[in-house]
């Protein structure tokens, strides 16, 4: 059973809160960008960092900001809400330089640019990556989940073939998504990657960062091939 942080929101995971607190206290962080911080948590990790730490500038980026987030954001003059795809170079420029980048449950969704390119983009504008991701333990190498084929894909993701965006997914992969200027196969709404720890670590280390902290936060639901892993990298 995951532990939940009950003070600021019932849906925040204690492991992610602990990760933020550890990184802020150890690495003298005063600015951050929370990339993809909205769905299911209404910016909760952003607001936790703003309320608990000495933050002079913050950006919360998501394609789908909500009214709840917009209203709460008004209380924090140092917070910018940015609507858009954080993989776009223009959005990355808008985010600008920050001490830390949060990537919570988002790396596995990134395609075009892929997860490793997203890390490269932000490596030029941050000195600390704070990451919590569903990591692939099913094979030695990172896999693009769609390439497993429909049957294996649905054995490996926490969704039924009839759930929302997953409905008819393999039949519409080449069709354009109604909200994004890209095909269904490339949207971040679906599970895209099984990223291994060794590929994640090698990628970030090649960008000049050092692994400072890691924790295995346990099995991802009842999925045999995914575990929740937390990381802090700094340079
Ligand atoms: C699985 S939720 C994770 C929410 C939160 N970070 C957490 O830890 O619970 C993914 C969120 O990231 C957003 N997202 C994913 N990829 C994105 C991208 N490339 N650009 C902007 N938002 C993105 C989605 O819209 C959604 O709000």
Pair (174, 164) in one structural domain: yes
Query: Are both 47 and 137 inside the same structural domain?
Result: yes
Say yes or no: 99 and 206 in one domain: yes
pLDDT at residue 171, rounded to an integer: 97
Q: Which residue range is the domain that position 164 belongs to?
A: 143-192
Q: Find all residues with CB under 8 Å of 225, minimum gap 6, and list them.
A: 136, 137, 138, 156, 194
3-state secondary structure of 212: strand
My answer on whether 135 and 149 are in the same domain is no
Q: Is the pLDDT of residue 73 over 80?
A: yes
134 and 29 part of one domain? yes
Rg (CA), the chain: 17
| Token pair listed for 125 | 């504008």
**Under 8 Å between Cβ of 129 and 232:** yes
Same-domain pairing of 114 and 171: no
Residues 112 and 133 in one domain: yes
Binding site membership of 64 for ligand 1 (Cβ less than 6 Å) = yes
Ligand 1 atom 6 nearest Cα: 37
18 plus 47 within the same structural domain: yes
Reported as a single tens digit per residue, the pLDDT across 14-45 is: 999 999 999 999 999 999 999 999 999 999 99
Task: Report the nearest atom of ligand 1 relative to the CA of 84.
Answer: 21
Residue in the block written with tokens 């892993």: 229
Q: Are residues 133 and 182 in the same domain?
A: no
> How confident is the model over 131-137, as a mean pLDDT?
98
Cross-strand pairs, 135: 195, 227
Count of structural domains within the chain: 2
């Amino acid at each position: 059973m995951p532990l939940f942080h009950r003070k600021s929101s019932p849906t925040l995971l204690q492991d992610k809160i602990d990760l933020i607190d550890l990184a802020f206290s150890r690495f003298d962080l005063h600015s951050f960008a929370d990339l993809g911080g909205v769905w299911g948590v209404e910016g909760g990790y952003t607001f936790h960092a703003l309320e608990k730490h000495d933050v002079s500038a913050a950006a919360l980026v998501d394609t789908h900001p909500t009214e709840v987030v917009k209203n709460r954001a008004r209380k924090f003059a140092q917070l910018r809400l940015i609507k858009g795809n954080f993989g776009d170079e223009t959005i990355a420029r808008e985010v600008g330089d920050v001490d830390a980048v949060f990537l919570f449950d988002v790396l596995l969704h990134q395609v075009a640019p892929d997860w490793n390119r997203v890390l490269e983009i932000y490596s030029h504008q941050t000195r600390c990556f704070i990451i919590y991701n569903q990591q692939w333990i099913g094979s030695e190498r990172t896999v693009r989940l769609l390439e497993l084929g429909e049957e294996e894909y649905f054995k490996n993701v926490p969704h039924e073939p009839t759930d929302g965006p997953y409905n008819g997914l393999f039949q519409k992969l080449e069709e354009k998504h109604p909200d994004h200027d890209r095909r269904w196969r490339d949207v971040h709404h679906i599970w895209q990657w099984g990223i291994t720890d060794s590929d994640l670590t090698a990628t970030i280390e090649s960008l000049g960062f050092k692994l400072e902290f890691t924790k295995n936060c346990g099995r991802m639901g009842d999925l045999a091939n995914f575990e929740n892993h937390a990381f802090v990298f700094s340079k």
